[in-house]
Structure 1
Amino acid sequence: MFKKSLLTFMLMAAVSQAAVKELIPNLKSEDFKVQTQARLDLLAACSKAGAPDAPEGAREAICKEMCTILEGNYPVVEVIQPVLNNLERIGGAESVPTLVKLMSHENPHIRDDARRALVVNPSKEAAQALGAQLKNRKMGSPKTTAGLIYALGERGQAGASRLITGALGSKDEVVFIAAVKALGMLNEEVGVKALLERRSLEKGFRKTQVDAALLSTERPEVYAAFLAEGEPDQLRAAATAGLILSGESSRAAAAMASGDTAQQAGVIEAAKQGLNPIVLDVVADALPGLPPYNQLKAVAALEASGNRKYAGVVEPLLKSSDWFVQVTAANALAAIGTADSVPALVALGSKEARRSLGRLNVDGVDGQLEKLAASGDSKSRQTAIEALANRGRVDLIPTFFKYAAEDDRGVASTAAKSIASIGDDSTVEPMVDLMVSKEKAPVSRDLLNGIVKIMRTSPDQNGLVNMLVSKMNGVSSRSQSNILKALAQSGSKAALQPLVEACRSSDEALQKTAVKALGGWKELNGIDTMLKLASDESISLTDHVILMRGVSRIYASVSSWQLPRHKAGIEKAIEVCRRQEEKEALQATLNKIK
């Protein structure tokens, strides 16, 4: 059996030697592609040898061959570094002597790479080597010393704290911080004791580093030390949270009752992180009497719990004099509110409250909102109507039409906007009819905007245009004007011809309204039609000016990088102009083209 294992090892060594040594010429190649391929081949060979299913001895064999290369006189960047990086990936005890030698390499990058390779090397020999290096390099460069200290901390090497505690007295900040962080990672009794003693001698940034390392140990004796009188609020808050999260939930009630805002903040943080029902109940009970800053944190903790039983203590905060508390409470109720939260949110009526009403996913909410939308004060009705629309209640569109026909300006406007937000092509015709019947009311403007909004995204713009044109017969000039505005603002190319026909109408009022509407066209697709009409000598100068100013306005809105493709169009528009003023405006746009 021994002979068989030895034979396998020798065979693998021979294979790896051939594989790795053959790559050296390519690693040194001046051809970047050849060099890159060699590095990839080396990585593949090491990955295969270090795989769990690799033959016995394959990893050790290739590592020993790489160690031989690393001890040779090869170029640093081209050969040493890629080989060392692979040794870092799969190296074991066999690699330690070579890595220790490289710790004294003249190149600082190689020294650091060797240290990192020792850090991740899983063998006990690597840990011993790091400790020995630290002992031998106490008078070495601060950066190297710091690297060794931090490496022992990263490894979690048992007993290493005794080697590191002396570095806490270093005046070099790099060494000091490495020692502090390493002792925090090791979390050994001797190291924690040394950190506690050291913090009384430090101040400023160095003391902050010590405090952070101590907190990371999550030890009760550390938390107790940070609760002492005179410690900063942030530390006392963190210590309170740490003690509660470590199992001392009985402290929560006393800490909240103390009136100490730092301890209260610690309890709240523990409640948010641990979601312990006992601690959350303590926070909920204390919520009304907390200062606004801690109320914000407490509401966030209760929201994180997802427990709707806390809705009752959050709802009163909607009446808080602090705007931030109001907003936070409204947002939280979207997650933990109940049907009973609806009246309070509706009464607040803010943007956040309306959004929460739209997101509140619990039985009974819709019923409450429908009742409030049907009766009550104007503000509450508006909030309820908008919330129902936000909840996607398409089935209530007929009801919204009734509300839009009411005399209450706020309710009618909100209802019209809600129809537009959840309506589709089928709602446009009744919207037009209501706009005509309420032409003198402010809601007609909201309906007009809603019609345009739906038309802009409609899959059947032609059908809607034809419907709008048919509605112009037999209505007042005001309603005709609104319909023409809807056609013009829709931006649909299908609306251009009806507008042109209206511009040539013998009805003077309709003709002027149509010209004004077409002059307000905002899309590039209307320019040819506008220029054709403006070039007609039979139209008045006033109508010509309205149309040309519209053309000029459209071209002026085009981004500079798109302007060159419209050069011929702008030049044509200048030729159509009857007055110098419109020519100059178009010329100014043309001059922007470089």
Structure 2
Amino acid sequence: MKPIQAVAAVAAATAAGKTLAGELEDLLPKIGSDNLNERKSGRDRFEDLVLASGKPGAEAERAATSKAICALLEKEMSDDTRCWLLRELWLIGGAEAIPTLVKHLDHKGTDVADAARRALQKNSAPEATAALVAALGKANTPEWKVACLIALGGRADSKATSAVAQHLSDKDLSVVSAAAAALGQIACPDSAKALAAARKKGSAEQKAILSDRYLQVAENWLRAGKYAEALAIYKELDSTSETELVRVAARQGQLAVELSKKAGPGHLIYQEVKGQ
């Protein structure tokens, strides 16, 4: 359904004397139905209402719909239905949804926990970063550490830098790689320092991973027009102590900086240089 039709759906429900929360609750049996046609029609209708509440300028409606979904998640239901509802919170969840999402992180090793983690990654409220940092601190398997690190990297919130950087020394290489990737996405001065420091330790394999993400920080800075900062990293990596692959990338980066200064921020010079 198109946005204007979705808005009309909400208006029709209101005109019929139903609250939005009431209609969402009425749809709950359908969205979990074993009848595929009934399930599809129920989920389509539910999502139309959700999307309509997320229209620009309708913050009160968005928050109310998010709270209504959180209330539904307190009920008994299949994991499939629970995951589907959590995915709806990817679309409109804000600060009001965080306690519910955190609660669902306790479904460890299940699709439910992963759906909640993804919803926190997409959540518009800054408090979601703190919730994911807390989840990372409690993680006791490499798989869940990686999942939390991916979410924090996706948010690219510099407030998570310290917590993420601690995992650069993890004994599991997949965790080290995920932490490095997250710091590359965050791309703040502290994340650059953490990657630079970690490169001086560990194995050659770890250094290769960390160097790649250090280059990612430089590329992100280049895209943002932070030419001096990006150039400093590229020059640091253009050294005989680095592998040939890293040195080539560093030289390409230096060329991209010079060309980007002329073209201006936002020009995809880096891709053009790498494609040569």
User: For this structure pair, what is the TM-score category when the shorter chain's length is used for normalisation?
Assistant: 0.7 to 0.9
Shift of 1:103: 0.6
How has the CA–CA distance of structure 1 residues 164 and 271 changed in structure 2, closer, same or farther, with 3 Å as cutoff? closer
Amino acid at match of 2:272: Q
Q: Look up the match of 1:198.
A: 198
Q: Look up the match of 1:112.
A: 114
Shift of 1:127: 1.8
Shift of 1:191: 2.1
Amino acid at match of 1:94: E
Deviations 1:506-537 (A, max 9, x none): xxxxxxxxxxxxxxxxxxxxxxxxxxxxxxxx
- 1:507-518 equivalences under 5 Å are none
Shift of 1:86: 0.7
Shift of 1:185: 0.9
Deviations 1:45-67 (A, max 9, x none): 1011112264x522111111110
Q: Look up the match of 1:273.
A: 272
Q: Look up the match of 2:223.
A: none
- From 19, 39, 61, the counterpart of 1:35: 39
Q: Look up the match of 2:249.
A: 238
Shift of 1:163: 1.2
Is 1:92 paired with 2:97?
no
Shift of 1:171: 1.1
* Runs of 4+ off more than 3 Å: 202-205
Deviations 1:167-202 (A, max 9, x none): 001011221111000111111222222212222333
Q: Look up the match of 1:169.
A: 169
Amino acid at match of 1:233: E
Distance 2:162 2:114 in 1: 23
- 1:432-451 equivalences under 5 Å are none
Q: Look up the match of 2:65.
A: 62
Shift of 1:227: 1.5
- 1:7-406 equivalences under 5 Å are 15-52=19-56, 54=58, 57-77=60-80, 79-106=81-108, 108-135=110-137, 137-138=138-139, 140-218=140-218, 219-247=230-258, 273=272
Deviations 1:61-120 (A, max 9, x none): 11111101112221211x212211111111111101100100102561110110110011
- Which structure has the larger Rg? 1
Shift of 1:234: 2.1
Percent identity, please: 29
Conserved in 1, the CA contact under 8 Å of 2:253 and 2:270? no
Amino acid at match of 1:273: E
- 1:413-432 equivalences under 5 Å are none
Distance 2:271 2:47 in 1: 46
How has the CA–CA distance of structure 1 residues 16 and 248 changed in structure 2, closer, same or farther, with 3 Å as cutoff? closer
Conserved in 1, the CA contact under 8 Å of 2:169 and 2:176? yes
- 1:516-531 equivalences under 5 Å are none
Structure 2: 5+ residue runs without aligned partners?
1-13, 219-229, 261-268
Shift of 1:36: 1.4
TM-score of the pair, normalised by structure 2: 0.79
Deviations 1:22-52 (A, max 9, x none): 1122123221111111111111110111122
Secondary structure class of the residue paired with 1:59:
helix
Conserved in 1, the CA contact under 8 Å of 2:238 and 2:246? yes
Secondary structure class of the residue paired with 1:160:
helix
Amino acid at match of 2:62: R
Deviations 1:367-420 (A, max 9, x none): xxxxxxxxxxxxxxxxxxxxxxxxxxxxxxxxxxxxxxxxxxxxxxxxxxxxxx
Distance 1:32 1:228 in 2: 61
Distance 1:172 1:107 in 2: 18
Secondary structure class of the residue paired with 2:46:
helix
Structure 1: 5+ residue runs without aligned partners?
1-10, 250-269, 275-296, 302-594
Please give the root-mean-square deviation of Cα atoms over the aligned residues, in Å. 2.6
Shift of 1:122: 0.8
Secondary structure class of the residue paired with 1:22:
helix
Deviations 1:480-530 (A, max 9, x none): xxxxxxxxxxxxxxxxxxxxxxxxxxxxxxxxxxxxxxxxxxxxxxxxxxx
- 1:454-533 equivalences under 5 Å are none
Higher relative CO (Cα under 8 Å, sequence separation at least 6) belongs to 2
Amino acid at match of 2:96: E
Shift of 1:271: 9.8
